[in-house]
Amino acid sequence: MNNIFDIGRFGKLFIKHTTEHYKNYLMSLTVLFGVMLLGASFLVYLINAPIDPGLQTAMFISIMLLAGTIFTSNIFSDFGDRKKAGAALMLPASHFEKYLVAWIYSFIGFLVCYLACFYLVDWLAINAKHYPGQQIIMINVFSRYIVQCFLMFAFLHAIALWGAIFYNKLHFVKTAFVFFIAVALLIIINKVMLDCLLHKSVHIAPPFGALRIMEHNREISLFLDENDSRFVIWVLGALAFIFWAAAYYRLKEKQV
């Protein structure tokens, strides 16, 4: 077991990683906060109305997914640099411990910092102007819908983490390219299969998305019910664990 995980060795590795990268992480956090603050200021200036929970939710999800995947894509950058890869691989720690440090920083650490930044910026934006007779509320990130979006983030984080160790350069660009190509292929396959099953022309839609067909010049739409939505969530969770495992085993394959 000590060859895989030792709490003392892991603690030293975590401290070493923090000491070597905290400046870059603080700079990334400052940039994230600055971009969010600038965007919120622009919205407050442009929209002469309270920022409703719907817009807050949209901004929360979109920035979290984009910033999180970009940050995660560079978490294994040392292993892609020939000058640093040797030292990183020969470090007296197990591959699992190295992987766990990267996972904690890119998943748990990012989410904690992101929530803190978002709530601070959201609070500043809400209180920047006073709107008489209107009560403005902040979104609840522990609501059911937001929690489901956290699972979507876990799925995209797993893909970005796999791309970070699989590619040596341009991690985010290459991973995003492969991801969108795969999504496009899935959409095409989904349409072809539904056309064959229903013997009708189905509108293009992603797997598990809304089913839309034309019947007597009238569009008929079918949506997933609550149980089907839960199934999709479980699928995303399972895929996240699969890609996390794939990233770990890819890291184990790295050689000096």
**Phi, then psi, of 49 in degrees rounded to 5:** -160, 160
- Collapsed DSSP state (helix, strand, coil) of residue 204: coil
> Where residue 89 falls among pLDDT bands split at 50, 70, 90?
confident
Q: What pLDDT was estimated at residue 18?
A: 93
Mutual orientation of helices 144-166 and 53-73 as an angle, nearest 10°? 20
DSSP string, 104-122: IIIIIIHHHHHHHHHHHHH
State the amino acid at position 119 in one-letter form: Y
Has residue 227 got a pLDDT over 60? no
**Phi, then psi, of 166 in degrees rounded to 5:** -75, -40
Stronger pLDDT, 1 or 129, i.e. the higher one: 129
Q: What pLDDT was estimated at residue 103?
A: 95
pLDDT tens, residue by residue, 133-162: 666 777 887 787 788 888 889 999 999 999
Taking residues 153-179, what's their average pLDDT?
90
> Where residue 47 falls among pLDDT bands split at 50, 70, 90?
confident
> How far are the Cα atoms of 26, 70, 174, 198, 232 from residue 153, in angstroms, in the given order?
22, 12, 19, 33, 14
Q: What pLDDT was estimated at residue 210?
A: 63
**Phi, then psi, of 211 in degrees rounded to 5:** -100, 120
Taking residues 214-234, what's their average pLDDT?
65
Question: 238 CB contacts (<8 Å, ≥6 apart)?
Answer: none
Count CA within 13 A, CB hemisphere, residue 175.
Answer: 26
Taking residues 208-232, what's their average pLDDT?
64
- Residues 129, 44: contact at Cβ < 8 Å? yes
Has residue 27 got a pLDDT over 90? yes
Q: What pLDDT was estimated at residue 220?
A: 64
Query: Furthest-apart CA pair in the chain: how many Å?
Result: 69
Tell me how far apart the alpha carbons of residues 90 and 86 are, in angstroms, rounded to a whole number: 6
Over the chain, what is the mean pLDDT?
83
Name which of 72, 81, 135 is nearest 108 in CA terms: 72
- Residues 4, 96: contact at Cβ < 8 Å? yes
Tell me how far apart the alpha carbons of residues 23 and 178 are, in angstroms, rounded to a whole number: 31
Has residue 241 got a pLDDT over 90? yes
> Where residue 225 falls among pLDDT bands split at 50, 70, 90?
low
- Residues 246, 162: contact at Cβ < 8 Å? yes
> Where residue 19 falls among pLDDT bands split at 50, 70, 90?
very high
β-pair partners for 174: none
Q: What pLDDT was estimated at residue 216?
A: 63
Question: 35 CB contacts (<8 Å, ≥6 apart)?
Answer: none
Has residue 49 got a pLDDT over 80? no
**Phi, then psi, of 222 in degrees rounded to 5:** -120, 130
Residue with tokens 């739409």: 221
